[in-house]
Each structure stands twice: as structure tokens, then as C-alpha cells.
Chains A and B, each alone.
Chain A
Amino acid sequence: MKVIVVDDEPIVADTLVDILKGEGYEAIATSNGKSAIEWVARFVPDLVVSDLMMPGLNGIETARAILKQLPACRIILFSGQAASTDLLAKAESEGYTSRFWPNQWIPMFY
């Protein structure tokens, strides 16, 4: 299974990739939405894990662009900011699930 991790905070992205690799996933880290979208064509991920609030393209915009290229890809968005609830509500209205909370998703991969 192939995963792209998107987070503008390099240490967060790198540690996540480390964790995923340790669990047997093939994972790469990108620091913004634009570069993630570029990697999609070459890497063809099964899953994209992306921060919601980022400079440039935000998580939802990134997800939308990726799904256009790769409809089968699964997306997980995460965020630690209270202001992101608005964005999540918007994402939900567009048919995405938002059941995962920060730091809760890791056990999902065990």
C-alpha cells in the first residue's frame, strides 16, 4: 500500500512517514498540496494523508485535485485547529467523511 503524507511542518510529515514505513507501508513526505498533486501521477498512492490548513492549497483543495486524477485514491485529512471545523463541515457537505480526529488515526494502521 502506498501513502503520500502532506504537512507543511516537515518534522510532522517526516515522523509520520517513518511510522508508516515501520508498519510496512510505502510512504513519501511532501510539504505542500502542489507538490503532493505532482507526486500523485508518478507515485500513484492508495492513500493520501494531508494536513487541512496549509499555506498555498489547503487540504480540501489538494484532495479535490488528487481525486480528479485518481478517483480510487483514499484521502485522510487532519487538523489541530479549531478554525478548521468550518472547512471540515464544507468537506462533509461534499461527501467526505470526517470521523477521524488528530492523533486517533494512528491506531487505525495497526
Chain B
Amino acid sequence: MSRSPVRSIDPAVSAEANLAQSLFSGDSEMARLMREFAWEKTPLGPVSDWPQSLRTSVSICLASRFPIVLYWGPEYVVLYNDAYSEILGSKHPWALGQTCRDCWAEIWDTIGPMLDGVLSTGKATWSDDLLLRLERFGYPEECYFSFSFSPVQVESGKVGGVFTAVIETTGKVLGERRLQESEHKLRVVTDAAPVMIWLSGIDKLCNYFNKSWLDFVGRTLEQEIGNGWTENVHPEDFDRCLQTYVTSFNERRPFEMEYRLRHHSGEYRWILDHGVPRFASDGTFEGYVGGCLDIHEQKEAAEKIRMADEALRESEERLRLAQQAAAIGAFEWNIVTGTRRWTPEMELMYGLQPGTFDGSHEAWERRVHPEDLPAALKERELALQSGAPVQAEWRVIWPDGTVHWVLGRWQAFKDESGNPVRVAGINIDVTARKAAEEARFRLAAIVESSGDAIISKDLNGIITSWNSQAQRLFGYTQEEMIGRSVLTLIPPELHSDEDMILSKIRAGEKIDHFETVRIAKSGERIEVSLSISPVKDEQGNIVGAAKIARDIRESKKIESALRTTEKLAAAGRLAATVAHEINNPLEAVTNLVYLAARDLPNTDRVARYLQSAEQELRRIAHITRQTLGFYRDNSSPVRLNLAQALDELLALYEKRLETRNIRVVKEYDSNAEVVALLGEIRQAFSNLLTNSMDAMISGGTLTVRVRKARTRRDGPIDGVRITVADTGSGILPQHRRNLFQPFFTTKSDVGTGLGLWITRGIVEKHGGRIQVRSRTGAKPGTAFSIFLPLQGKAAPRRVEVDASPQQRGSTRLAVQ
């Protein structure tokens, strides 16, 4: 298309150019084009000839950023701004100065008459989303525009041209159309779906239901939207559903709920409704969409299963109750016809469902325990022969494997000629009675065969049972003792014990391993260990006591023998130590005597040798003296200084400690004293010290501590705590429990396994307590600590044992 003609430079033209410059002001593209345009070649003529109204309109047009086009004069010459150039497409910039007919030839049929109308009537038009098929990019195109053709009057009062504000709405129109299409498609799809679908808006009200829903309820969309649909929800479910919906809606959470919805048939059916919030592409919340399934059948089936289960449980319960109640059943056997009849109680007694007994002899025989069957059959024969009533007991094995005892009682009836024609009888379930009987028999057997005397008595101490071992132990027969007071057996000085025992039993307490003395019929005092438990009746009331008395004379003897053994072993160990201690000075003396004999003429040297020899002999004498005092029988307690006692022992073991590279740390309170049996305390300490030394094979530190202390067990008691700690290998956790048991040793080659047992015995005899702490692994070691009260009750623990003169003898044996 032709470009704007090139201007020639001449003064007239220059004036024209200046006018154009001022009229088409600004730096927009169209202003530039208009300035350079050769208007004189158009029907409009040179700019200087333009009417004011045209000039004004063009100024407004260029200044606007809204798409504006002017069609001027009867030829509708086209003038437009930058914003409009986009609507023109490839027609820009050619369109400037063209007639509208040329510019918009493809739509002239549409807009030409409109323009003519404006020109002739002077009235503006308004077109909204008007379809115009343009060819602005070389191909036909469906475009939509909203525009207004406005008349512009010239000075003469006539309409000089048309001012057009226009906006292209193609995008908006097509978008709306696409949306409509997709919504339509969606509806088609949702209507076809077997799922019932609803939509709600942000006002929570439903605004759409698909066909499936409407078909289900048999109503129209108009009836359902808003809150209409709720009319068909089961009244019992309505509040719950509404609450679920509103709560979820406010939190924009998905929800799931089950409710009954009235079907168009009038039946309420169970619906599973699943709702999720909907959001637009920009994230704006738009409401909810929901899908519902008809789950009525599944729901019904689940309910039926539940009811069936319940019914089954109920019937089982009934059966169980019936069986419990079925204590007596009756049966009848018609020998002539061979028929047997059982009452339902009979069937229950044999573990059968009522009505399932088939009337056969085998059905009964199958249930009877094979061991009991012959005896029962024998009784049956007897009944048939004699016609007298008979009875038998047998076990019945139920189908579930449980065993029940049945007592049968029956009689045969005979006809005139003496032939049995009928047997009738009853069965009684005696399981409970049998079980009680068995338990009693078993208990009685145990009691009779027990190696311990088992005696029972009432709360007044009157003996109610007396087993055979009690007879052997105490010499009294059952006939002699039942009905007599238990005090018969108790030494007079211990009668108060019985009050203590009875008060404990009344309080429901047990007494375990109470060591005391009882008197036999012969007058002999017997050391016994008693275990006494309360006996309760069925209501749980205490009605008496069961007492087990064990003869502990033998074990006492063994115990004292063990103590002697350990004493001998300790003596042996001591002897070995002493021998070694004596050996060195002895050797020195031997050498000195040899030297003295050799150097006889040299009196100075001999004198020196003899002086040394005397010193060595003094050393021997010291060791001997100490040793002699060591295991002297201290039958009476003395006040002893514990630091001194330990020092004497450590002196004895000095050589051994040195040889083993054991450092001794003494932490003494040198004033600490207790009243105790010196020999025994020494033995206890010696055991701990030698154990510690044996634990430190490759050297270490032995800490010996003496401190005044106070214990709070059984009230505050003042005393002394002695601790012997080593850095040896430690005691393995599994050994710690057995540490104080007799014959427990980890040194089977040198130890008797009695040392710690003896030590604890000695400590407890003095009213003290021994404890051990030990650690293996990293930084191992063991610490034994002994607490001794200041006034050690240097007497056995059991006062009642001490009361026996014989016992006193054996006690002394144990501590010698």
C-alpha cells in the first residue's frame, strides 16, 4: 500500500507542516504518522482546511489510551490512535486516511448501514459483543466487539463524522463459550455417572444435583437446590449430617458421612456421602462437591451379621446356663421296643445339644470313660437280674474334652413272668462333689506322707488334726492329741510364744521358719522349725492354723560340724602362714649360730652374731605368742579395740601382703571399741582379709577402715562400721547371691566355701550386719562392710533356742 508522500520544502508547505505539528502533538506512533501524512491527497484536504470539530476529535483520539477510531466525512475517512492500531492487525498503518469502506470491506455490510444511520439521524449506537468476521491477518476470523458509534457535529450543526470508542471482546466471549461448553460436558458426564453428585456454593447451599441424585429421590433440580434436598434425609440422621457438613465446611475439610435418604419408592436407603471443598484455579474457595453411593445392601448385610452374632452368643449363653442347671436328668429304657428316652437335662449332662440323643446304647457308651464302663455295665446286668435299685458312678467325656462325673441310679421292672421289660432311672452330675473329694483325698495323702509333722489347730490352740509324722516326732498318737491344747508341746517358759503365734494368725499373717523348741511325749526337747499359715473357711474367715513342724536337730548337728570343719581349715591356713613367718628368722638364726661357732675366738663378732640371733628369736616368740592367743576360746565377750585387732591380723599377713605387692591403706578411728567375742571377731576379719588378698593376684590396694557409726534399722543403734575393700577382680554378679551360702567358693583348691557363711554367722550373732558391694570390669573391686553394735548381744539370734540347756552346749561348739 502507498506510503505517505514525501513533502517538498516550500514556505507554504512549511506553514502547513507547523499546523500539523501543533495539531498532531505528542510522541505516539499515530501522532507521528499523522504529522507526516499528506492529508491534501485525501477527501479531508490539507489540515488547514479541517473544521474545528475534526481537529478537536483527533486531539481527543490521540490523547486517549482507549482504542478510538474516527470515521470522518461522507467517505468515512479513517483516523485512529495507537490503541486502535492493534485491532487493525496488518491493516495498520495503511488504514490511516483510507475510507472505511476500503478499510473494513469485509464487514462493510454490517457497519456501513450503522454508520449511515448515525450520520443521517445524529443518534449514537451501542453494540455489545457484536460478532464481526474480520480479515485483518490475511484470514477470516471470528471477532467480537463492544463499541459505540457517536456522532460529531460540525459548526453547521450537521454530523461531520463518527467518533468510535471500541473494545475487542473476542477473548472474553470465547472464554465464556468454552466455559459453557465444559460445564455442559461435565453435566452430561455427571448425569451419566452412577454416582449421585451435588455441588454447593460458598453460602453452604446446594446449587446442583446430577441426574442420578434426582432419579434416586424422584424430584426435580428446582425442588432439591437450596435446602430442598434435606426434606428426604431421615429425621434421625438429619442433625448429625448437618453438624458434620457445617463443621467440615467451616474448616474447609473433606468429610464422609452415612445417612438414610428417602428413595422415590418411599424407602429410606443408606447413603455414603463424601464431600470435598472446591477451589478455583486461583485458589478461591468456591464451595463443596460431593459424591454419594447407595450402600444400603452392604449396611443391611453387616447389620444382619451383627444380629446373628448376638443371637448366637445369646443361645450359647442359654445353653451354658441350662447345662449348669442340669444337675439331675431322667432316662427310660423300654427293653421290649428297644427305645431309650432321655430328658433334655440328660443330654446336657452328656454334653449333647438338647434333642440330639439318637436313642442308641452306643451313644451313651461312647461318652462314658473307658475305665469306668465295665463297672457301670456290670451294675446294669445286676439291675436286670435282681430288679433291685442299683447305682454306679462314672466319668463322662464331653465333645469338648472336659471330664464330668455322673452318678447313675436305676431299677429294672419285670413283667408277670419275671422278664425285665423296662429300666428307669436318673443321672446326677456329681462333678463338683467329686472334685472336692479328690482334692481332699490328695491333700490327706500329702499330709500323711509328709516328712514333716503337720498339725492343725483352731484359734484357741486346740489341735484338730495330727498326721503320722507328728506322731513319730512327738510320740503322741492322733487319738491322744486331737482336742488337746497345743500347749502340751510347748516348754513352759515358751508358753507366751503361743499367744504371739495365735495373734499373728488371727491377723491373717504367716509365720515362716520360726526356730524354736518343743517337748515330746518322752520329755525330750526337740529343736524344730515352724511354718504356720492361717486356715480360712469358704467365706474367707480365719478359723484356725495349719502348722508344719520340721525336726532340725539333724541339720543343727550338720551346721555345727560345718563350723568345726571351717575352723579346722582356718587353723590349717593359719599354721601355714605361721610356719612361713617363723621360717625366715629360723634360717637367720641357723646361719648366725653357724657363724658364731666358726668365729668363736673372735668374741666381738660372736657377740654381734648372738645379739642378732636373740633378736630373731624374739621375733619368733612374738609370732608364736600372737598365734597362741589367736584362736583361744573366748567364751565371754570382752571390750575390744577394733583398730588394734585388725593391726594384729595385718601384722600376721605382712609377709604375704608384701609378696603379692599389696599396699595397705589404714583409715582407723583408733578409739572404736565394741564388746564382743575376740576370737570370733578375729576369725571374721581374718576371712575378709584373706579373701581380699586372694582377689588381688597381681597386686593392688587393701583399704581397711574403722569408723564409729549408727544404724537406723530397728531404731537407732550406735556401733562401729568396719570396711575391708580391695582392688581385686571383683565378684561376678551371678556369684553375689550365693556369697554367704555354705560351700560356695570360687577358690575350690584352697577354700572350704564356708568362710563368708561363718563370717555372717558371727556378725549376726553379735547383732550386726554384713554387706557387700562389688564391681567387675573397669575399675573392679569388692568392699565388705560389717556393722557391729557397741554392746554386741553376743548370743544366738533365737532366744527360744538359747532357752534349752542342750542347745547352749551346741551353740558353744559352733563358736569354738
Distance in angstroms between the alpha carbons of A22 and B595 in the assembled complex: 9
Task: Please determine whether A53 and B591 come into contact, CB atoms closer than 8 angstroms.
Answer: no
Instruction: Kindly state whether residue B746 has any CB partner on chain A within 8 Å.
Output: no
**Which A52-107 residues have a C-beta within 8 angstroms of B?**
53-56, 80-83, 102-103, 106
Assess the A54–B659 pair: CB atoms within 8 A.
yes
Interface membership of B464, Cβ < 8 A: no
A22 touches B592 (CB 8 A): no
* Distance to closest chain B CB from A84 (angstroms): 10
Task: Provide 27 A-B residue pairs closer than 8 Å at the C-beta atoms, listed in order of the A residue.
Answer: A8-B658, A9-B584, A9-B588, A11-B585, A11-B612, A11-B616, A12-B588, A15-B588, A15-B609, A15-B612, A16-B591, A18-B591, A19-B591, A19-B594, A19-B595, A80-B580, A80-B583, A80-B584, A80-B586, A80-B587, A81-B580, A81-B583, A82-B579, A102-B583, A102-B587, A103-B587, A103-B590
The contact string, 1 if C-beta is below 8 Å from chain A, for chain B 575-607, is 010011001111110111011001100000000
Most buried by A among B586, B591, B592: B591
| A82 B587 Cβ-Cβ under 8 A | no
Give chain B residues whose Cβ lies under 8 Å from the Cβ of A53.
659
**In the complex the two chains form, is A18's CB within 8 Å of B659's CB?**
no
A106 to chain B, nearest CB (A): 7
Contact B661 A55, beta carbon cutoff 8 Å: yes
Secondary structure at chain B's binding surface: helix, strand, loop or mixed?
Answer: helix
Q: For residue A22, which residues in chain B have a CB less than 8 angstroms away from its CB?
A: 595, 598-599
A16: which B residues are within 8 A, CB to CB? 591
Q: How far is the CB of B578 from chain A (nearest CB, A)?
A: 12
Complex: A54 Cα to B585 Cα, angstroms: 15
Shortest distance in angstroms between A83's beta carbon and chain B's nearest beta carbon?
A: 8
For B585, B588, B612, the residue with the greatest tally of chain A CB atoms inside 10 Å of its CB is B588
Query: Nearest B residue to A54 by beta-carbon distance?
Result: B659
Query: How far is A81 from B592 in the complex, measured between Cα atoms in Å?
Result: 21
B215 CB, nearest partner CB in chain A, Å? 107
**Across-interface contacts of B580 in A (CB, < 8 A):** 80-82
Q: How far is the CB of A29 from chain B (nearest CB, A)?
A: 12
Write the chain A residue with the least CB distance to B616: A11
A53 to B656, CA, bound (A): 10
Q: Which residue of A lies closest to B579 (CB)?
A: A82
In chain A between 9 and 35, which residues have their CB closer than 8 angstroms to a CB of chain B?
Answer: 9, 11-12, 15-16, 18-19, 22
A109 to B616, alpha carbons, bound, how many Å?
A: 25
Q: How far is the CA of A8 from the CA of B612 in the complex (A)?
A: 17
User: How far is it, in angstroms, between the C-alpha of A102 and the C-alpha of B612 when the chains are bound?
Assistant: 20
Query: Which of chain A's residues have a CB closer than 8 A to the CB of B598?
Result: 19, 22
Given the complex, which residues of B lie within 8 Å of A9, measured CB to CB? 584, 587-588
Name, among A15, A56, A80, the residue most crowded by chain B CB atoms within 10 Å (CB to CB). A15
Chain A residues within an 8 Å CB radius of B585 = 11
- Chain B residue numbers with a CB within 8 Å of A8 are 658
Report the nearest B residue to A8, measured CB to CB: B658
Task: Give the Cβ gap from B61 to chain A, nearest Cβ, in Å.
Answer: 122
Known: A9-B588, A82-B576, A103-B587. A15 touches B595 (CB 8 A): yes
Q: Mark A38-54, 1 if CB is under 8 A from B, else 0.
A: 00000000000000011
Interface residues of B in 555-584 (CB under 8 A from A): 576, 579-580, 583-584
Residue numbers in A under 8 Å from B616 (CB-CB):
11
The chain B residues found within 8 Å of chain A, CB to CB, are 576, 579-580, 583-588, 590-592, 594-595, 598-599, 609, 612, 616, 658-659, 661
Inter-chain CA distance A81–B659, complex, in Å, is 12
Nearest-CB distance from A1 to chain B (Å)?
A: 19
Could you tell me if A106 and B594 are in contact, using CB atoms closer than 8 angstroms? yes
Query: Which residues of the partner chain B approach A103 to less than 8 Å between Cβ atoms?
Result: 587, 590
- Rank and list the top 5 A-B pairs by shortest CB-CB distance, nearest first: A15-B591, A80-B583, A11-B588, A9-B584, A12-B588
A54 to B583, CA, bound (A): 14
Q: How far is the CA of A53 from the CA of B655 in the complex (A)?
A: 10
A75 to B400, CA, bound (A): 89
User: Which of A54, A55, A106 has the most chain B CB atoms closer than 10 A to its own CB?
Assistant: A55
Selected from B576, B583, B592, B658, the residue in CB contact (under 8 A) with A15 is: B592
Interface centre among A18, A19, A22, A102 (most CB of B within 10 A): A18
Additional A-B contacts beyond A15-B588, A15-B609, A55-B658 (10; CB < 8 A): A9-B588, A11-B588, A12-B584, A15-B591, A15-B612, A22-B598, A53-B659, A55-B661, A80-B584, A103-B587
Are A12 and B587 in contact, CB atoms less than 8 angstroms apart?
Answer: yes
- Nearest-neighbour CB distance to chain B for A73, whole angstroms, equals 23
Instruction: Give B671 Cβ to nearest chain A Cβ, in Å.
Output: 33
List residues of chain A with CB within 8 A of the CB of B612: 11, 15
CA distance A9 to B738 in the complex (A): 41
A80 to B599, alpha carbons, bound, how many Å?
27
A15 proximity list for chain B (CB < 8 A): 588, 591-592, 595, 609, 612
A53-B659, A55-B661, A103-B590 given; A18·B584 CB < 8 A: no
Q: Of B595, B609, B612, B659, which is in contact with the most chain A CB atoms at under 10 Å from its CB?
A: B659
Closest B residue to A79 by CB, please name it.
B583
Question: Contacts of B592 on A, CB cut-off 8 Å?
Answer: 15
Taking CB atoms, residues of chain B closer than 8 Å to A106 are 594
A15 to B591, CA, bound (A): 6
Contact of A55 among B583, B586, B595, B659 (CB under 8 A): B659
Question: What is the CA–CA distance of A19 and B609 in the complex, to the nearest angstrom?
Answer: 12
Measured between beta carbons, the chain A residues less than 8 angstroms from B609 are 15
B658: A residues at CB distance < 8 A: 8, 55
User: Closest CB of chain B to A31's CB: distance in Å?
Assistant: 12
A55: chain B residues at CB < 8 Å are: 658-659, 661
Chain A residue contacts of B584, Cβ below 8 A: 9, 12, 80
- Contact residues in A for B661 (Cβ distance below 8 Å): 55-56
Please name the residue on chain B nearest to A10 by beta carbon: B588
Q: Which residue of B lies closest to A16 (CB)?
A: B591
Q: Could you tell me the distance between the alpha carbons of A18 and B588 in the complex, rounded to whole angstroms?
A: 12
**Distance to closest chain B CB from A24 (angstroms):** 12
Return B458 CB to nearest CB of chain A, in Å. 65
Q: Smallest CB–CB gap between B193 and chain A, Å?
A: 99
Q: Which chain A residues lie closer than 8 Å to B586 at the CB level?
A: 80
Nearest chain-A residue to B582 (Cβ)? Answer: A80
**How near does chain A come to B696, taking the closest CB pair, in angstroms?**
13
Q: Which residue of A lies closest to B583 (CB)?
A: A80
Instruction: Give chain A nearest CB distance to B116 CB in angstroms.
Output: 137
CA distance A11 to B589 in the complex (A): 9
Residues on B with C-beta less than 8 A from A80 are 580, 583-584, 586-587
CB-nearest residue of chain A relative to B576?
A82
Q: Provide the bound-state CA to CA distance between A86 and B590, in Å.
A: 26
